[in-house]
Amino acid sequence: MAIEGTTVAGLTKEQLAEEVTHVSTPDRLSTPFGDLEFFDGVPKPESVQSIFDGLDLVRGITAFLNTVPGASLVAMRRGLRVVGVDSPDKIGYTDPRCTSTPIFLTPNTETTYGITFLDLKAWGPTVVEVPPQSLCVVDDFWFRYVTDMGIAGPDQGAGGKYLFLPPGYDGERPDGYYTYESPTFTNFLVIRALGGVPAIKQSRIYRLSDAGAAPENAFVNIAEQSFNTVHSNDFSFFEEIAQLVAEEPSTALDPERAGTLATLGIRHGTPFVPDERLRGILDDAARIGAGMSRAILYKPRDPESFRWEGSSWKNAFVGGSYEFLNDGARNLDARTLFHYAATVITPAMAHAQVGAGSAYIYTAEDADGALLDGAETYSLTIPANPPAKNFWSVDVYDTQTRSLLQSAAYPAVASLSEGLQAEADGSYVLWFGPAAPDGKESNWIPTLPGKSWWPVLRLYGPLEPWFEMTWQLPEIVRGQGS
């Protein structure tokens, strides 16, 4: 319709026809889900089910990639319960440090951990007392940051009392505590203390109602116990997520991810009972999603993943945001990469400072770009003056489980390792392979024929050359030469 006093040219018939082609679907569409047929844009009856099967697969893959953090903590809690860490007053710890026996996502073999889960639904308001000079973190059940405690927390390493309140809490908030309300009832607590096991055993967890006469905590040494804390990569992944959604308030997860899960039958307050069709699709979705996660972890396409230009060494924390945000957008691959490989979220990990915290890099290939083979021998030179105020370490992990490679109790070498040999120029040559080269046993980490492996370099208290990029780690070299 022309407006009086104006001229409207409009489109020619040919231009309009061209526009229609851009908004139309052809009568036959070839897709990864098969050939789909339409009549003038309307799906034919024989194609409708294939379309919805494809949609469920896409949403299942999306759900896997976006909810790995939650499934990881469901599996962590389940694994800890197997070894008796089944209530908040029981704290698992690694004495003297974690070995390769348990299945954990990339633990290190150099520090002592204490871990447990808070249950704010069963316990209500819960107090955690942390020891002095500790590094403690609480994350919610979707693996989102709640708070640091200790050196990086408000007590600044002096030790203090922290009060955790369940979602929607409207009761008393007494003075004398650092108080936090979590969006989830279940919360993951990690304790590290510079004083090791004796310091960790100074930690206290009790109900607020017991503050006047808190009972003793139990401590369970899990360092050499056999159990699994890693989430599933098949249909049971969705059962892990369904358990989480059922336990937590409907408000605990953002609407977008909650909506994706709801289309798959995972809703708060509704049993998850997929039929045989959906169950098969979700099994495929988890396996495909796991394959995509492995590509994101081991062979990322984001240039920001790489520590140095032209190097295979990669950053575990991409982007410098513990929420994986960049200009208001979530870096989905960065979130998947981190949570598929690791545990514990805190701003202190994303923003290491000179002389404090730790820095991490990893690779899964050698200098020629080939995957690391447990049947072969490799060397890695740690250049002189590694930029670590405290110490550095290299731990080796299983590419399947992302846990410590079960080739030795401690598949690692550190600057504190007894007998570690330095070269004349102050560098260190580390060796990897099924057998140690003659005379190199103290600098050797065993690998397993028939399995791949991947190393992580950790710098504890990274120094200026790390941040200024003036110190660079060379590639891993295959063969007996260094």
The predicted structure's pLDDT at residue 165: 98
Report the distance separating Cα 349 and Cα 359, nearest Å.
Answer: 8
- The CA–CA distances, whole Å, from 129 to 19, 121, 171 equal 66, 20, 21
Q: Which long-range contacts (CB under 8 A, 24 or more apart) does 75-78 make?
A: 75/228, 75/229, 75/230, 75/231, 75/232, 75/240, 76/115, 76/117, 76/188, 76/229, 76/343, 77/117, 77/186, 77/188, 78/229
Between vectors from CA 227 to CA 225 and to CA 230, what angle results, nearest 5°? 135
Q: State the average pLDDT over residues 368-394.
A: 97
The predicted structure's pLDDT at residue 8: 67
**253 CB neighbour count, 10 Å cutoff:** 24
User: Which CATH number fits the domain 86-221, given the four candidates 3.40.920.10, 3.40.50.10440, 2.60.40.1610, 3.60.15.10?
Assistant: 2.60.40.1610
358 pLDDT band, cuts 50/70/90, is confident
Comparing C-alpha atoms, which of 75, 94, 106, 114 is closest to residue 404? 106
3-state class (DSSP) for residue 381: strand
Report the distance separating Cα 242 and Cα 275, nearest Å.
Answer: 15
Comparing C-alpha atoms, which of 71, 36, 80, 78 is closest to residue 55? 36
216: DSSP letter: P
What is the distance between the terminal CA atoms of the chain, rounded to a whole angstrom? 79
Average pLDDT of the chain?
A: 96
Q: Residue 39 contacts by C-beta under 8 Å, 6 or more apart in sequence?
A: 27
**What ranges do the domains of the chain cover?**
86-221, 352-478
The predicted structure's pLDDT at residue 4: 62
Report the distance separating Cα 411 and Cα 446, nearest Å.
Answer: 7
Report the distance separating Cα 246 and Cα 264, nearest Å.
Answer: 14
Comparing C-alpha atoms, which of 34, 343, 76 is closest to residue 186? 76
The predicted structure's pLDDT at residue 108: 94
Q: What is the DSSP string of 342-376?
A: -----HHHHS-BTTBSEEEEE-SB-TTSPBPBTTS
289: DSSP letter: H
The predicted structure's pLDDT at residue 351: 75
The share of the chain scoring above pLDDT 90, in percent, equals 94
The predicted structure's pLDDT at residue 7: 62
Q: State the average pLDDT over residues 25-32.
A: 96
Tens digit of each residue's pLDDT (9 = 90 or more) over 409-450: 999 999 999 999 999 999 999 999 999 999 999 999 999 999
* pTM for the structure as a whole: 0.95
**95 CB neighbour count, 10 Å cutoff:** 17
251: DSSP letter: G
**109 CB neighbour count, 10 Å cutoff:** 22
> One-letter amino acid identity for 464?
E
Query: What dotted CATH number matches 352-478?
Result: 2.60.120.600
User: Strands of 314-315's sheet, edge to edge?
Assistant: 314-315, 358-362, 453-462, 388-398, 412-414
Q: For the CA atoms of 135, 138, 143, 145, what is the dihedral angle to 10 degrees?
A: -80
Q: State the average pLDDT over residues 345-357.
A: 84
pLDDT of 350 strictly over 90? no
Contact 262, 67 (CB under 8 A): no
The residue to which tokens 């590694």 are assigned:
386
pLDDT of 482 strictly over 50? no
HSE (CB half, 13 Å, CA atoms) of 53? 19
- The CA–CA distances, whole Å, from 302 to 59, 161, 196 equal 23, 41, 38
pLDDT of 221 strictly over 90? yes
The predicted structure's pLDDT at residue 9: 80
Tens digit of each residue's pLDDT (9 = 90 or more) over 124-142: 999 999 999 999 999 999 9
Contact 321, 335 (CB under 8 A): no
Backbone angle region of 106, left / alpha / beta, with phi > 0 → left and psi within -120 to 50 → alpha: left
The share of the chain scoring above pLDDT 70, in percent, equals 98
Tens digit of each residue's pLDDT (9 = 90 or more) over 253-265: 999 999 999 999 9
**466 CB neighbour count, 10 Å cutoff:** 20
The predicted structure's pLDDT at residue 3: 56
pLDDT of 2 strictly over 60? no
HSE (CB half, 13 Å, CA atoms) of 452? 13
